[in-house]
Amino acid sequence: MIGGAIKSTISRAILCCVYLTFAADSAHADVVIENVNIVDVENGEITEHQTVLIEGNRITRIAERFEPPVTAERIDGEGKFLIPGLWDSHVHIFSSPNEPDTALPLYLMHGITGVRDMGALWPIEDQQALQAKIETGTVLGPRLILSGAWVDARPGSWPGMFLADTPAEARKVVAQIEEEGWAAVKSYSMLDEATYLALAEASEGAGLRIVGHIPERVGLETAIAAGQDGMEHFGRIPMACSTAEDRMIGELRAAMEREAAREEVFAIMASRNRIILESWDEQLCLRVLAQVASAGLHVSPTLVVADFYLGNWPSADAPRMQLIPPQVREAWGRPDFRLQAMTDEVRGLAQESIALDRKTFLLAHRAGVPILASSDASFANPYLFHGFSLLDELDLYVEIGLTPREALYTATVAPPRFFELGDQDGTVAIGRRADLVLLDANPLEGLETLREPHAVIVNGRLLDSEALAAMGADLREKARSDE
């Protein structure tokens, strides 16, 4: 979340072992959805009265009328709308030992059939073991992309990070990340420029994407020139739209070079919000955004994180609070280190800064900056909910000025294309992996219908409304019995 520079209070307890309380039957019937409206999220067209056959985990036939296999499970799609499954491109499902038990069903209940994990406290082997079980269907969950190989300067902003303080260390770390089989390298906030540049170069050499935070001491233009592929969070865009970006970076570098106290370093970073508000320049911003767009730098905005700083929290008895473990609810209710680290001045500025972020976000979208809808959901991030928060993020995009179709694009079409998944590209078409959501209303007219899918198909497996409701009931029951 915030700049990533603040040392986490998370305990360094050794995390291991997956105890999933549910398991899927890996063999399942073929599925046929009859007489449905298929939504093309890319160009906003709807093809009516289609019958869609799913065999195994693939869409194998789409036509107006045909006789499906007698053994297939049939769903009446009359008056319903079929879209590709949603992606949340920035989550943390491995921040505590049993987190997937809650996270996986919450994603499926919200039609999210793919998530990219951006930083984990579980060993990579355990993450990969869960990923494999999801792929074979022995565990029911969204498709997982393991992108949490975060690399930071010592001592590291979070426990368990890869650490690099020199270009040589950066190269070594990339070799290890490649060896361990991560999907990408994630740069983090406190890397110095020389180390970061070596990290970017080594990533490219290894054929790995470099995504993550633009380090606090590196300019956005430098990161683009270094070949940064993905940028997590949005704050560095308004900062690059400030005529004072160089000055802010210079000030931080100078402080770190003279080994200033941690508090001073944080104070310098915290002072940036005011400076950006005073020096944000629209003409400069348009030039920066054109550069970001033409570089194809994919931004995962996580705008919903702002709710935390606005104090925009659900009440303790809100329905979504009843679905998460009581220990998590309790931890979220305690004053957070991130809030404690905020000075009064920063708190006072939060509202204005958030408004500026949103204004800049709309400009970025209009400039063609590729956006990957992202929530930063994690048990470790207060009030950012698996599942719910991605839909909150999409609603926010619409509130800011995107059309429902444009918002939906950032969660369906853009992610699988950026991840270069051969079997998925955000279209409902023959040969594609069957990750689909069946909705009661046309999502191009409003996203409310995403809150309660009629059915979700994940990796070819049908979850009808009863199955989805049962998942919610199980989570509520489990949360109650753990109280």
* Residue 156 vs 401, nearer CB to Zn ion: 156
Nearest distance from C-beta of residue 331 to Zn ion, angstroms: 17
Question: Are 2 and 338 spatial neighbours (Cβ–Cβ below 8 Å)?
Answer: yes
The residue type found at 49 is: H
Q: Name the residue with the smallest CB distance to Zn ion.
A: 376
* Residue 81 vs 107, nearer CB to Zn ion: 107
* Residue 182 vs 280, nearer CB to Zn ion: 182
Strands 461-464 and 455-458, bridge-based pairing: antiparallel
* Residue 80 vs 92, nearer CB to Zn ion: 92
Q: Considering only 216-224, 279-287, 314-322, 373-381, which stretch makes contact with Zn ion by CB under 5 A?
A: 373-381
- Number of residues located near Zn ion, criterion CB under 5 A: 2
Nearest distance from C-beta of residue 304 to Zn ion, angstroms: 12
Positions in 155-174 near Zn ion (CB under 5 A): none
Nearest distance from C-beta of residue 257 to Zn ion, angstroms: 28
Nearest distance from C-beta of residue 79 to Zn ion, angstroms: 39
Nearest distance from C-beta of residue 37 to Zn ion, angstroms: 35
- How many alpha carbons lie under 13 Å from residue 27 in its C-beta half-sphere? 0
Helix (H, G, I), strand (E, B) or coil at 273: helix
Positions in 97-156 near Zn ion (CB under 5 A): 118
Q: Considering only 145-153, 169-177, 369-377, 432-440, which stretch makes contact with Zn ion by CB under 5 A?
A: 369-377
* Residue 57 vs 302, nearer CB to Zn ion: 302
Among residues 376, 392, 395, 435, the one that binds Zn ion under rule CB under 5 A? 376
Question: Are 410 and 365 spatial neighbours (Cβ–Cβ below 8 Å)?
Answer: no
Q: Considering only 142-150, 271-279, 345-353, 371-379, which stretch makes contact with Zn ion by CB under 5 A?
A: 371-379
Nearest to 388 by CA among 334, 330, 331, 450: 450
Pattern 414-453, binding to Zn ion, x per CB under 5 A?
Answer: ----------------------------------------
* Residue 86 vs 384, nearer CB to Zn ion: 384
Order of strands across the sheet that contains 184-187: 162-163, 150-152, 184-187, 209-212
The residue type found at 394 is: L
- In sequence order, the 6+-apart residues with CB closer than 8 A to the CB of 183 are 116, 145, 146, 147, 208, 209, 419
CA distances to 29, 120, 278, 349, 426 from 378, rounded to whole Å, are 33, 10, 33, 26, 25
Nearest distance from C-beta of residue 389 to Zn ion, angstroms: 12
| Backbone phi, psi, residue 441, to 5° | -135, 170
| Tokens 């310098």 sit on residue | 268
Question: Are 468 and 453 spatial neighbours (Cβ–Cβ below 8 Å)?
Answer: yes
* Residue 50 vs 381, nearer CB to Zn ion: 381
| Tokens 């500026």 sit on residue | 356
Nearest distance from C-beta of residue 90 to Zn ion, angstroms: 6
Q: Is 393 in the site for Zn ion (CB under 5 A)?
A: no
Question: Are 3 and 269 spatial neighbours (Cβ–Cβ below 8 Å)?
Answer: yes
- Can you list the positions of beta strands (E) in 261-321? 298-300
Nearest distance from C-beta of residue 306 to Zn ion, angstroms: 14
Question: Are 447 and 408 spatial neighbours (Cβ–Cβ below 8 Å)?
Answer: yes
* Residue 376 vs 395, nearer CB to Zn ion: 376
Nearest distance from C-beta of residue 376 to Zn ion, angstroms: 4
* Residue 122 vs 280, nearer CB to Zn ion: 122
Give me the residues that bind Zn ion (CB under 5 A), please. Answer: 118, 376
